[in-house]
Homo-oligomer: A and B are copies of this chain.
């Protein structure tokens, strides 16, 4: 008997409630039965993202939503600023180059967050910048960017702000309208804790102005087509959607609101703190040095010189059933990442830290067994947060 625990920054654990919805017999995507669910999910996603903007559901990974943002919002040759703090910033850069944009990039050391004042300066120096693209939570490092401040800055300019909040939203606060975020990307398989396969995207009025002028060829991800179908009676998607995933998202969204937004954010905060303090107590070094730049979705831990990182995560997975993630891009082999977003409670955190301790011991890492687990427990206890 071996139980499995997914502790990666997506996909994440899925509740039995969501899994049962996802597994139930499918209806036709043009049927009134599905239309009802589709409308509900669209409306709940707006509430989830705190926006009155249009929200579109796409059948793709989150990368598809990022591509939709880039190909719908700009004209060839438009100057855009990619704020790059990791592997997904790199992905935005590659996309912008692929689709013929004039790319300006603001690159930070991986493991640090963007400085809003740098963006402000660059926007002032380059008044022809049409859009700023940035990650909310950078999944490859665990850094969280100050999207609220960036939103304040960009909203004062003619540029639009595109935010990849795929691993951010639902774990960290996100106020699309209050923060003036023009285009925001999300995914089914992150903090929402539904199965993989669906992305979604919100579009502000300011962004629509850009989309209507855009000349970059796109078809599958064309948001003007999506808008046309959303305005039909009943609202639909232009192409056959991933029906079962959307049905699952409906339940996942209900569970999010039942728990309550504030409670969900607090749970993520305390779980993240427990993982981070436990790791430090075990003598491990976190990639993100500045605690205020640490996100609550994923924690990146530097593999110590004396430890074989690949063997460590393999041991955790094969021997203890706990799947964590390795490093991405240039951090491959240098870090491992513990995901703690979505349907994760304090005992999942304790399990992960406990498995990490066993795997570290096997490689001769010096520490007293239980140190990490006790530290995690202390964090929960101090925060009066023993069951979430």
Q: Please determine whether B22 and A23 come into contact, CB atoms closer than 8 angstroms.
A: yes
Residue A28 interfacial (CB < 8 Å)? yes
A70 to chain B, nearest CB (A): 8
In the bound complex, what is the Cα–Cα distance between A8 and B6 (angstroms)? Answer: 37
In the bound complex, what is the Cα–Cα distance between A221 and B95 (angstroms)? 12
Instruction: Give the interface residue-count category, chain A.
Output: 35 or more
* A170-207 interface bits toward B, Cβ cutoff 8 Å, 1 = contact, 0 = none: 00000000000000000101000001111000000000
Q: Given the known A-B contacts A61-B239, A220-B63, are A25 and B29 also in contact in the complex, defined by CB atoms under 8 Å?
A: no
**A49 on the B face (CB < 8 A):** no
Task: Compute how far the CA of A155 lies from the CA of B241 in the bound complex, rounded to whole angstroms.
Answer: 34
With the chains together, A19 CA to B98 CA distance in Å? 39
Q: How many copies of this chain does the complex contain?
A: 2
Is B29's CB under 8 angstroms from A196's CB?
A: yes
* Interface assignment of A243: CB less than 8 Å from any CB of chain B: yes
Measured CA separation A137–B176 after assembly (Å): 44
List B contacts of A221 (CB < 8 A): 220
| A75, chain B: closest CB distance, angstroms | 13
**Closest B residue, CB atoms, query A243:** B196
How near does chain B come to A237, taking the closest CB pair, in angstroms?
8
Q: Closest 9 A-B residue pairs measured CB to CB?
A: A23-B23, A197-B242, A61-B239, A61-B240, A63-B239, A67-B220, A195-B244, A196-B243, A99-B217
| A and B contact pairs by CB, cutoff 8 A, 14 listed | A23-B24, A31-B323, A59-B60, A59-B197, A63-B238, A94-B219, A99-B219, A187-B240, A189-B240, A196-B241, A196-B242, A197-B244, A242-B245, A244-B244
